[in-house]
Chain A
Amino acid sequence: MKSFTYERAKTPRDAAAAVARTPGAKFLAGGTNLLDLMKLEIETPTHLVDVQDLKLDRIEPTRDGGLRIGAFVTNTHLAADERVRRDYGVLTRAIVAGASGQLRNKATTAGNLLQRTRCPYFYDPNMPCNKRKPGSGCGAFGGFNRNHSVIGGSSLCICAFPSDMAVAMRVLDATVETVRADGSARSIPIADFHRLPGSQLPVGEFALEPGELIVAVTLPKPIGGRHFYQKVRDRSSYAFALVSVAAVIQRDGTGRVAFGGVAPKPWRVEAAEAALPQGAAAVTAAAFAGAAPRPDNAFKLPLATRALASVIAQAKAEAA
């Protein structure tokens, strides 16, 4: 690990300013992903600004009936919150489907959104990776790509975004609240927060400016319906998704659906949701139109249809 200096900021604005003015500085929240990457020297920050004293660890109701989740709220705390379990069940379900108990106790809401891909070529400094080293190429194209994206990738990068929590937040239309180095605030719809790789280097990842700090994630007022998070993975616990489905299905069969494990961001195509009453195949045909699977991950397309079919069947059984 490279040497770095460390400070604990006192206010969000101070934290943002400290990172903006120090070249190579990064925010430190739970650290469960950042430290992992620092040990491999994939991340080499010169300075860490710890945000644990910023009092961003509360979940509060909003004026319009939603919830404002502080950036430093842990995954466990968020999943266990009674209001979340009752009104945003898809979010609790997604969080407890991810990582391990120890990691969820430490990992934060903002940190979860800012997770880096677990692509093995990103994680191996001896391999080409346009995300880690722009211009070095993509090892996954001709290599091991069973876990990679089937849609939303580009000729530069086909990584999959690993978060479960973010897929639920996408289906709930969450908003990411930030503070910038000059103290100004900004709201970023979750749909725009994660960027697709595109055709230009460097490979885009998050819609954040240097030093911009996430302070909260806001959920709009509850939308009712039945909440599901169906995750398919290589082992039944503590593994990243091959395919996951976050869905909120209403009694009349309409609803919302987003997919995880299939794209460089939580994958939701609102226009495809209109097909929900016609069944899973109709939805995925629209949601994955233009998909470019590789031979090793082509299984994800039928798997997404089957996972969604299972969710729809459960929703029908519960409604009956």
Chain B
Amino acid sequence: MSVNESGDFKLTRRAVLAAGGASAAVTVMPAEAEPVPAPKPATLPLSVTVNGKRRDLTLDTRTTLLDTLREHLGLTGTKKGCDHGQCGACTVIVNGTRINSCLSLAAQHHGDEVTTIEGLGTPDNLHPMQAAFIKHDGYQCGYCTPGQICSAVSVLREIKAGVPSHVQADITAAPTATNIEMRERMSGNICRCGAYSNIAEAMAEVAEARA
């Protein structure tokens, strides 16, 4: 499925990159190499509800939830940063809980409900956290932003649900949405532009509005 959902054949940057990768692979193959038939990879049928819409797919078992969203459903708002659970760019919300979609197989999510940045709000109807990120300049290059926003929305839910954190003096007490709490809880989302203080301010505004 192409990212370009309008159906025309306008070249996107992604399409050019994908084609470049394919031709590079062809040129490095030695001319005399015998073609070795690759074993057929295992596939699996599954259905996932993404942003309220049920999607039925048959995927290679190796497909991560991240690649399912980006490569098979065209939802490229969720970003691939490190692909090893270290940066948080791929953060999505599954059954109400944020996870790293790069460290999860699609097969593990058969029957699950996934919310991505595209499902939180739209350009005409922003989620309050999206609006607050814009207002407070919670990004520069924007690459980590979808993951930051999915994480930020979940962090406020986790605080409300009483999930404890490392910076609480008393772990039996209910946590509150202080600056230090939000910084600690957002540590799984790396921003190399360093927008952290503005992200924390955006979160504080949303937390206050909801208090």
Contact = CB atoms under 8 A, between A and B. Distances in A.
B104 A237 contact: no
Interface stretch (A85-93, A125-133, A245-253, A257-265): A85-93
Interface stretch (A27-35, A280-288, A304-312): A27-35
Interface of B: 39, 41-42, 44, 60-62, 64, 83-85, 88, 91, 97-100, 102-105, 107-108, 151, 154-155, 158, 161-166, 171-172, 183-189
Contacts of B91: 102
Nearest to A2: B62
Contact of B188 (A5, A50, A103): A103
Given A85-B171, A86-B172, A105-B98, A1 B185 contact: no
B99 A6 contact: no
B184 A6 contact: no
What are the 3 closest A-B residue pairs judged by CB atoms, nearest first? A100-B188, A237-B187, A238-B187
A39 interface: yes
Contacts, number: 107
A97 to B, nearest CB: 5
Interface residues of A, number: 34
Contact of A35 (B104, B151, B188, B189): B104
A4 interface: yes
Contacts of B42: 3-6
Nearest to A99: B188
Contacts of B64: 35
Nearest to A89: B171
A80 interface: yes
Interface in A98-148: 99-103, 105-106
A74 B186 CA distance: 19
A36 B84 CA distance: 6
B163 A102 contact: no
